[in-house]
Amino acid sequence: MGKIRRNERIGAMVKILCSHPNKIFTLNNFCEMFQTAKSTISDDVVIIREIFNKFELGDIETVVGAAGGVRFLPKLFEKDFEFIQDICDKLSVPDRILPGGFLYTSDILFMPDVIQKFGEMLATQFQHTNPDFVITVETKGIPIALMTARALNRPVVLARRENKVTEGSTVSINYVSASSKRIQTMSLVKRAVQKGQKGLIVDDFMKGGGTARGLMELLHEFEAEIAGVGVIISTADPEEKLVKDYKSLMVLKQVDEVQRKAIVEPSSWIRK
Give the footprint of a second copy on this chain (CB under 8 A).
Answer: 1, 6-8, 10-12, 14-16, 18-20, 23, 33, 47-48, 50-52, 54-55, 57-58, 98-100, 102, 104, 106-107, 110-113, 115-116, 138-140, 142-143, 146-147, 149-150, 153-158, 160, 165-168, 189, 191-192
Residue 23 is classified by DSSP as -
**Closer of 107 and 271 to a second copy (Cβ):** 107
Q: Which of 79, 157, 60, 72 is nearest to 117 (CA)?
A: 79
| Residue whose CB is less far from a second copy, 191 or 220 | 191
Inter-residue contact 197 to 134 (CB < 8 Å): no
Q: How far is the CB of 205 from a second copy (least distance, A)?
A: 9
Taking the complex as a whole, how short is the minimal distance between the CB of residue 201 and a second copy, in angstroms?
15
Give min distance, CB of 193 to a second copy, in A.
Answer: 11
Closer of 111 and 173 to a second copy (Cβ) = 111
Q: How far apart, in whole angstroms, are the C-alpha atoms of residue 179 and residue 177?
A: 6
* Minimum CB distance to a second copy, residue 255 (Å): 11
Cis peptide before 124 (omega within 30 of 0): no
Q: Which is nearer to a second copy, 123 or 226 (CB)?
A: 123
Residue closer to a second copy, measured from CB, 15 or 244? 15
Pairwise CA distance, residues 20 & 244, whole Å: 32
Q: Given its phi and psi angles, is residue 157 left (phi above 0), alpha (psi -120 to 50 degrees) or beta? A: beta
Supply the minimum distance, in Å, between the C-beta of residue 166 and a second copy: 4
Helices (H), the chain: 6-19, 27-34, 38-54, 78-91, 106-109, 112-126, 142-152, 210-221
